[in-house]
Amino acid sequence: MGINYFRNDGRDTRFVLLEHLDIEKILSYDAYKDFGTDDFRMIIEEVLKLCKEELGPTLQDGDQQGCIYEDGVVKAPESFHKCWKVMAENGWIALDNSPEYGGQGLPFALSSLLGGLFVGANLSFMMYVGLTTGNARLIESFGTEEDKALFLEKMYTGVWSGTMCLTEPDAGSDVGALLTKAVPDPDSDDPRIYKIEGTKRFISCGEHNLTDNIVHLLLARIEGAPAGTKGISLFVVPKIWVNPDGSLGEPNDVFCNNIEHKMGIKGSSTATLNFGENGQCRGILLGEPNTGMAKMFQSMNEARLGCCAQALGLASSAYDFARQYAKERVQSPPFTNRDAGSVPIIQHEDVRRMLMNLKAGTEGIRAMLGKIMYYLDMAEHDPEEGARKEAHHLVDLLTPIAKAYSSDLGYELIRDAIQILAGVGYCSEFPVEQYARDEKIVSIYEGTNYIQALDLVGRKLAMEGGKVFQNWIEGVMKFAQKNSQDADFASDIKLLLDAARATGDYSLQFIQYFKDGKLAMIPLNATRFLECCAEVFMGMLLIEQGMIARGKLKETGAESADGMFYRGKIETAHYFCRNMLTKVFSRHMSLRQNDTSAIDIPEEAF
Residues of this chain, 573-602, that bind its own copies according to CB under 8 A: 574-575, 578-579, 582-587, 589-590, 593, 595, 597-602
User: From residue 161 to residue 190, what is the string marking binding to its own copies with x (rule CB under 8 A)?
Assistant: ------x--xxxxx--x-------------
Residues of this chain, 530-559, that bind its own copies according to CB under 8 A: none
**Dist CA 182 CA 275 (whole Å):** 11
Residues of this chain, 472-501, that bind its own copies according to CB under 8 A: 491, 495
Instruction: Indicate the residue among 352 and 392 with the shorter CB distance to its own copies.
Output: 352
Q: Work out the burial of residue 168: count CB atoms within 10 Å of its CB; fewer than 13 is exposed, 13-18 middle, 19 or more buried.
A: buried
Instruction: Indicate the residue among 214 and 345 with the shorter CB distance to its own copies.
Output: 345
**Dist CA 391 CA 567 (whole Å):** 32
> Per rule CB under 8 A, is residue 449 in the interface with its own copies?
yes
Residues of this chain, 320-379, that bind its own copies according to CB under 8 A: 323, 326-327, 331-332, 334-336, 342, 346-353, 355-356, 359
**Dist CA 564 CA 559 (whole Å):** 6
Q: Which of 153, 439, 446, 531 is catalytic?
A: 446
Q: Which are the contacts of 544, defined by CB distance < 8 A and separation ≥ 6? A: 20, 479
Using alpha carbons, list the distances in angstroms from residue 404 to 353, 393, 448, 455, 525.
24, 18, 8, 11, 14
Best CA proximity match to 251, nearest among 430, 72, 401:
72
Instruction: Indicate the residue among 359 and 460 with the shorter CB distance to its own copies.
Output: 359
Residues of this chain, 231-290, that bind its own copies according to CB under 8 A: 260-264, 270
Q: Find the shortest distance in angstroms from Cβ 81 to its own copies.
A: 25
Instruction: Indicate the residue among 154 and 266 with the shorter CB distance to its own copies.
Output: 266
Instruction: Indicate the residue among 129 and 355 with the shorter CB distance to its own copies.
Output: 355
User: From residue 407 to residue 436, what is the string marking binding to its own copies with x (rule CB under 8 A)?
Assistant: ----xx--x--xx--xx-xxxxx---x--x
> Per rule CB under 8 A, is residue 444 in the interface with its own copies?
yes
Instruction: Indicate the residue among 3 and 520 with the shorter CB distance to its own copies.
Output: 520
Q: Find the shortest distance in angstroms from Cβ 604 to its own copies.
A: 4
Please identify which residue in 450, 462, 471, 501 interacts with its own copies, judged by CB under 8 A: 450
> Residue 277 gets which letter from DSSP?
T
Instruction: Indicate the residue among 186 and 517 with the shorter CB distance to its own copies.
Output: 517
> Per rule CB under 8 A, is residue 294 in the interface with its own copies?
no
> Per rule CB under 8 A, is residue 603 in the interface with its own copies?
yes
> Per rule CB under 8 A, is residue 522 in the interface with its own copies?
yes
Q: Find the shortest distance in angstroms from Cβ 124 to its own copies.
A: 13
* Beta-carbon-side half-sphere exposure of residue 33 (alpha carbons within 13 Å): 6
**Dist CA 557 CA 567 (whole Å):** 11
Would residue 24 show up in a list of annotated catalytic residues for this protein?
A: no
Q: 168 with 198: CB under 8 angstroms?
A: yes
Q: Which are the contacts of 194, defined by CB distance < 8 A and separation ≥ 6? A: 182, 183, 184, 185, 220, 222, 235, 282, 283, 284, 285
One DSSP character per residue, 287-337 reads: SSTT-HHHHHHHHHHHHHHHHHHHHHHHHHHHHHHHHHHHHH-B-S--TT-
Q: Are strands 282-285 and 232-238 parallel, antiparallel or unpaired?
A: antiparallel
Q: Find the shortest distance in angstroms from Cβ 308 to its own copies.
A: 18
Q: Which residues are catalytic, by number?
A: 446
